[in-house]
Every structure is written in C-alpha cells, then in structure tokens.
Amino acid sequence: MSAKKTRAISPVTIERRTWMEWVGRVGVISLSQYLLGCGGDAATDGPPAVGGDAGPQEAGVPVPDAGHDAMAEAAQDAVVEAAPDGPPGPCETSFPFKPGQGDHGVFDGWGERTVDPQDLASILDSWVLTVDGLVVQPMTFTFAQLLCLPRQDQVTDFHCVEGWSILDVPWNGVRLAEILERVTPTASATHMVFRSLGGKYDESVPLAVAREPKSILAYGIAGSSLPLANGFPARAIFPRLLGYKSPKYVTRIELTDHPVIGFWSNYGYPYEGEVPPDRLRDGKY
C-alpha cells in the first residue's frame, strides 16, 4: 500500500453538563443507524469518523470523548425502572473511567477508515442502545446502564483485512452473551445484527459467534472510554474475525432469522470475515 499523508482530527471538547445529561438519559429514542468496518477507500477529516480502521499511515489524532467525574456521577444517579433481569438499576460502577485520549500504547499505528462525517452533538443528545427483534423481552440501555452490567476485561488482538494487526488490545466491555441472556432470543432467532448511527452500515454474525466467550460489546480500552475515532461509545468486538466485522458506534442490536449482508461484504469482503489461521495467536482470540 502506498504511503499517504497523515490527516489529523481536530479535538472536540464535551462540556461536563452535556455529558452527564447524556449518559443519564433513560428514555427510548428512535435513531437511524451507522456501522463501520475495517476497509474502504475514502479518508475524510472531521470528528468523529464513520468508517472502519485504516493502516498506520492514515492514522488520525484520536479525539477526547468523556470525563471521569461526569461518568461516575451519571452512573450513580441514573434512575431506572426495569424488570429484575432487564437493564440494571442505579449502581456504583467500579470501572475507573478517564477521558479516552487514545494515549495508551495500543493506539500507536492504529488508524481508521473514514467514510462519512458524523455529528457529535447528535450523539451526545440521543444515544441509547436498543436490543430488539426476535426476543422475548426487548430492552434499551443508556451508557450508564451499560456500565452496570457485568464487565469483561480481555486482552485480544485486532486484525484488519488490509493485513495489519494491533496486538494485545486491553478491551473493557460486556459479553454479548450477557445481553442475550437478558433479552432471551426466540426459537427462530439465528443472527445478531448491529446497526449504528445513520442507517448506511449494517453487519451481522450468527448467534453462535455472538455467544463465544470473547465476543463483547466494548466501551473501553485499558480503563478509558473509547476514543471517538475507535468507536465511542460502543463497538462490537469479535477477536477471531476481521475488523470490518466489528462495527463501531452501535445504537441497536437486532435479532433476526437470517443474516444481513453488511456494507463491506457488499463490496466483496467475505461475510464470514474469519482471520486467517496464520495471523491468530494462542489465547488472543
């Protein structure tokens, strides 16, 4: 791949009050979806990027996304009415969040593909995660509620279809199997579909893949919230699949009785998206 000029993403400041109002939101809001993969052919400046993850030569400067004090207070103050097995009620999360500046060593050489610009204000105003489709009990989660679910910390590798890899990524998140247990898939459900802001990018995996022990919905790396360029507020992670199968900016998880062919597969990438065996390391997928 020929060398390309590095493009920086301008920093964005999020006011503490706006952040607290956002993560504490408990209402159900209907959103269109966007979903990202690893790959693509366009690079655009602007925070945050909607696309996939690019090679090192196209890495932008990660954007700050959240504040530690606001995160902790919002998680403690959220008022939720839910069934016993539904979204969690008020909790005091032990997750040591700090602003996701992208300064951890794992971000060295980790860039992103950009397909469409994204309006940060609209994310702050309305993000909730909806889980519905072929389920017994549809649910919604605010970001604060997501933090109250049992957390999984795992160190796994991230592999791009373009041939580069980021090794030993210390992800923080919740197992997709944990979410499935709460909504209870119906007998006809066979696939988990991820949708993100905007409606252009979809991705799906079989439920068997979603239930694998290291398949998670990630909201942090090394105790920091995800940088915006890497999928804030939440992205799916499937360590044994290529990066385009791990969508960013997820706002909805839908269970269906059929696969949904994602944006990148429509451009010729294999639907299964499995990492070649010679790129996998023992214990890292």
pLDDT, tens digit, 9 for 90 and up, residues 43-102? 222 223 333 443 333 333 333 333 333 333 333 333 333 344 556 655 655 555 454 555
Here the tokens at position 180 are 């499935």
Which of 213, 223, 207 lies closest to 147 in space, CA to CA? 223
Q: Rounded mean pLDDT of 188-195?
A: 98
C-alpha 201/C-alpha 55 separation (Å) is 20
pLDDT, tens digit, 9 for 90 and up, residues 198-244? 777 789 999 999 999 999 999 999 888 887 778 888 999 999 999 99
CATH code for residues 16-279: 3.90.420.10
pLDDT band at 268 (very low <50, low <70, confident <90, very high): very high
Q: How many CB atoms lie within 10 A of CB 260?
A: 18
C-alpha 146/C-alpha 33 separation (Å) is 19
199: left (phi over 0), alpha (psi -120 to 50) or beta: left
Torsion from C-alpha of 73, 74, 77, 81, nearest 10 degrees: -160
Q: Rounded mean pLDDT of 129-138?
A: 98
Cα-to-chain-centroid distance, residue 201: 13
Q: Does 119 score more than 60 pLDDT?
A: no
Q: What separation in angstroms does the CA of 22 have from each of 120, 192, 225?
A: 12, 26, 15
Q: Which of 6-20, 107-121, 166-180 has the lowest mean pLDDT?
A: 6-20
Q: How many CB atoms lie within 10 A of CB 101?
A: 16
Strands (E), 8-137: 49-50, 116-117, 129-133
C-alpha 89/C-alpha 82 separation (Å) is 7
C-alpha 191/C-alpha 142 separation (Å) is 23
Asked if 148 and 91 touch (Cβ cutoff 8 Å), the reply is yes
C-alpha 238/C-alpha 205 separation (Å) is 10
Here the tokens at position 274 are 């499995």
- pTM for the full predicted model: 0.66
pLDDT of residue 95: 54
Q: Does 166 score more than 90 pLDDT?
A: yes
Q: Rounded mean pLDDT of 13-19?
A: 37
pLDDT band at 143 (very low <50, low <70, confident <90, very high): confident
Domain residue spans in the chain?
Answer: 16-279
Q: How far apart are the first and last CA of the chain?
A: 26
CB-facing half-sphere around the CA of 227: CA atoms within 13 A: 23
Which of 20, 19, 254, 260 lies closest to 140 in space, CA to CA? 254
pLDDT band at 123 (very low <50, low <70, confident <90, very high): low
Burial grade of 193 (CB within 10 A; 0-12, 13-18, 19 or more): buried
Q: Does 274 score more than 70 pLDDT?
A: yes
